[in-house]
């Protein structure tokens, strides 16, 4: 039964890798997240490399990446030299920052275009506004979600 659990965990970790890839994150980052969701406790650098069967170099770059994002945090173990990692509090909020920035950027692109050439044609202005509202609302949704997920859970 332990073997089937192990298989299930591995499957989940792999799938989280693919999910992450779909969101534009490196696959290994997703696999790290997946493993950390399963195993709560702090995992050592080497343990990650071993369990995921991945080079230490990749663990280094991806833990730094997730750490910088705010999804995981590096913790020290008393008397241990190794680095340990665990999920940050409210880890998933930080996954929304990238999308929020992208939407703001997109909105700015549209607004800039509107300022430059809106005068000319009425239809153009209307279509630019619609597109601008789209990106704006999308950004707002992400921000609201982020607010929700920063409080609780």
Interface contacts to DNA, rule CB under 7 A:
17, 26-29, 44-46, 53-64, 81-83
Which of its own copies, DNA, none does residue 77 bind to, with CB < 5 to 8 Å depending on kind? none
**Judged by CB, which is closer to its own copies: 19, or 69?**
19
**Judged by CB, which is closer to DNA: 14, or 129?**
14
Which of its own copies, DNA, none does residue 118 bind to, with CB < 5 to 8 Å depending on kind? none
What span, in angstroms and rounded, lies between the C-alpha atoms of 12 and 21?
Answer: 14
Number of residues that bind its own copies (CB under 8 A): 45
Which of DNA, its own copies, none does residue 111 bind to, with CB < 5 to 8 Å depending on kind? none
The helix/strand/coil state of 75 is strand
127 binds its own copies (CB under 8 A): yes
Q: Which one, of 70, 65, 35, 67, lies nearest residue 49 by Cα?
A: 35
**Judged by CB, which is closer to its own copies: 8, or 75?**
8
């Amino acid at each position: 039964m332990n073997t089937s659990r192990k298989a299930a965990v591995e499957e989940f970790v792999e799938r989280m890798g693919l999910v992450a890839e779909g969101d534009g994150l490196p696959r290994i980052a997703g696999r790290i997240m997946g493993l950390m969701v399963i195993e709560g406790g702090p995992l050592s650098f080497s343990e990650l490399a071993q369990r995921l069967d991945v080079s230490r170099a990749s663990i280094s770059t991806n833990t730094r990446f997730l750490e910088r994002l705010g999804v995981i945090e590096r913790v020290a173990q008393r008397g241990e030299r190794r680095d340990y990692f665990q999920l940050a509090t409210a880890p998933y909020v930080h996954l929304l920052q990238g999308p929020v920035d992208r939407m703001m950027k997109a909105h700015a692109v549209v607004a800039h275009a509107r300022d430059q050439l809106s005068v000319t044609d009425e239809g153009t202005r209307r279509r630019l506004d619609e597109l601008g509202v789209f990106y704006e609302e999308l950004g707002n949704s992400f921000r609201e979600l982020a607010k929700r997920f920063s409080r609780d859970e």
